[in-house]
């Protein structure tokens, strides 16, 4: 195929129908921790994919997590060669849609909880298979727990990735439509600071304030940040104390760690796990682990990128790459050495905030690119 003969053009996409269906997906709020809410989204996506002729299977995960949905187009052995990763959970609590982040269009921008990260990308995956029709076989995995680290479905993703020759991740594009060819790794830690409770008015000398010790610890943790090297340490949640007039016995910190490479991973994790209180009456309980290893560009992913690049050019947008600070399920597949392209979803901004939005004009060229890429990969694997 020469660049001008890619079968799917951006003008082929029925954007108003796409947006109408996207509104249905966003209307089903699906915070990761709410299993029933995520499963309601799984119900809808399964029915939608089935109606388009995909073969759909649904797999229980664990008692806390929504189901893993898998949709296939084409014969199973062919479909296994191209794995498309999406997730149906969002970071937004139920009520966000009726509250701080209603569905709304403002000029080119479309707002809503999860609209950008990543219900649009998930719907694009299904629609790309519809556009490609019998010219492309692929498997879409709709992950229910990506936003909390993919604990319940990581193994299933890795098993599927090992059968694949290419993994396409529908996470949103970054900073002006860039796709992602490398990602930092991440680790999640919880540190419980244990002190000793006492009445703050009558027996303050008996108390050992966990909040005071935690405050000092927060500064030590934040001092590990090294933006020049790409090391990020964020104390994102802090909870402690019981009543105003009690010396607090407990304070809990939830810490997010971002790691540019394995050397930094070893260094930061070792330092974090070695943190000790200076007061003998204070105790730290540190628990956590690396949830996603860092990944960089390898020859397989570079080759996949060079397959996609001329298609994107023909669709009217340049394929610009970057290393993202955020982790995704692409970290797992790239770490296994499977060629992985990430950030193939819509352009937009402000994921995980009440200003989350996508840029509507980015949908047709990127959706057409994806459909053509699936066709090209299918042809290359014949």
> CB of 174: closest distance to Zn ion in angstroms?
12
- Burial letters for 238-248: b for 16+ Cβ neighbours within 10 Å, e otherwise? bebbeeeeebb
Q: Shortest Cβ contact with Zn ion: which residue?
A: 117
Closest to 213 in 3D by CA, of 189, 237, 240:
240
Residues 118-137 that bind Zn ion (CB under 5 A): 118
Q: How far is the CB of 117 from Zn ion (least distance, A)?
A: 4
Part in contact with Zn ion (CB under 5 A); list of ranges 6-14, 63-71, 112-120, 173-181: 112-120
User: At its nearest, how many Å lie between Zn ion and the CB of residue 208?
Assistant: 41
Nearer of residues 240 and 330 to Zn ion, judged by Cβ? 330
Rg (CA), the chain: 23
Q: Is 256 helix (H, G, I), strand (E, B) or coil?
A: strand
Give me the phi and psi of 135, to 5 degrees please: -85, -10
* Residue 117 vs 356, nearer CB to Zn ion: 117
Please choose, from the candidates 372, 379, 346, 314, the residue with its C-alpha nearest in 3D space to the C-alpha of residue 132. Answer: 372
Stretch binding Zn ion (CB under 5 A), from 1-9, 68-76, 109-117, 316-324:
109-117
Closer to Zn ion at the Cβ: 80 or 356?
Answer: 356
Contact pick of 117, 261, 347, 356 for Zn ion (by CB under 5 A): 117
Cβ distance to Zn ion smaller for residue 88 or 249: 88
The verdict on 152 binding Zn ion (CB under 5 A) reads no
Q: Which is nearer to Zn ion, 80 or 171 (CB)?
A: 171
Stretch that binds Zn ion, among 33-41, 117-125, 231-239, 273-281 (CB under 5 A): 117-125
Binding-residue pattern over the window 170 to 209 for Zn ion, x denoting contact by CB under 5 A: -x--------------------------------------
Counting beta carbons within 10 angstroms of the beta carbon of residue 73, is it exposed (0 to 12), middle (13 to 18) or buried (19 or more)? buried
Enumerate residues 6+ apart whose C-beta is below 8 A from 84.
125, 138, 139, 140, 141, 167, 168, 169, 170
The DSSP-derived string for 180-214 is EEEE-EEEEEEEEEE-B-EETTT-GGG-B-HHHHH
Supply the minimum distance, in Å, between the C-beta of residue 15 and Zn ion: 22
Contact set with Zn ion (CB under 5 A): 117-118, 171
């Amino acid at each position: 195929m020469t660049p001008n003969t890619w079968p799917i053009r951006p003008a082929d996409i029925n954007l108003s129908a796409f947006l109408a269906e996207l509104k249905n997906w966003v209307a089903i709020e699906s915070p990761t921790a709410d299993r029933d809410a995520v499963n309601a989204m799984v119900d809808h996506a399964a029915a939608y994919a089935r109606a388009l002729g995909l073969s759909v299977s649904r797999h229980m995960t664990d008692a806390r997590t929504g189901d893993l949905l898998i949709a296939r187009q084409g014969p199973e052995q062919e479909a296994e060669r191209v794995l498309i990763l999406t997730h149906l959970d969002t970071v937004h609590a139920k009520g966000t849609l009726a509250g701080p982040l209603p569905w709304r269009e403002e000029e080119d921008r479309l707002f809503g909880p999860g609209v950008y990260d990543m219900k649009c990308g998930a719907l694009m995956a299904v629609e790309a298979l519809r556009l490609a029709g019998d010219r492309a076989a692929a498997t879409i995995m709709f992950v229910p727990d990506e936003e909390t680290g993919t604990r319940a479905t990581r193994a299933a993703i890795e098993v599927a990735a090992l059968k694949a020759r290419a993994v396409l991740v529908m996470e949103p594009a970054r900073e002006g439509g860039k796709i992602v060819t490398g990602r930092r790794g991440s680790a999640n830690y919880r540190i419980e600071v244990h002190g000793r409770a006492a009445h703050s008015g009558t027996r303050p000398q008996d108390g050992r304030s966990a909040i005071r010790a935690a405050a000092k610890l927060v500064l030590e943790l934040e001092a590990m940040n090294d933006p020049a090297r790409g090391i990020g340490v964020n104390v994102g949640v802090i909870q402690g104390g019981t009543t105003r007039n009690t010396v607090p016995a407990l304070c809990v910190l939830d810490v997010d760690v971002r790691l540019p490479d394995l050397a930094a991973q070893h260094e930061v994790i070792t330092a974090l796990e070695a943190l000790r209180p200076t007061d003998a009456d204070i105790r730290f309980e540190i628990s956590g682990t690396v949830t996603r290893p860092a990944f960089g560009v390898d020859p397989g992913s570079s080759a996949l990128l060079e397959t996609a690049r001329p298609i994107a050019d023909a669709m009217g947008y340049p394929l610009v790459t970057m290393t993202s600070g955020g982790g995704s399920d692409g970290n797992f597949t790239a770490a296994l050495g499977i060629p992985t392209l990430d950030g193939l979803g819509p352009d937009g901004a402000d994921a995980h905030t009440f200003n989350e939005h996508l840029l509507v004009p980015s949908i047709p060229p990127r959706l057409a690119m994806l459909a053509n890429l699936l066709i090209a990969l299918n042809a290359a694997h014949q």
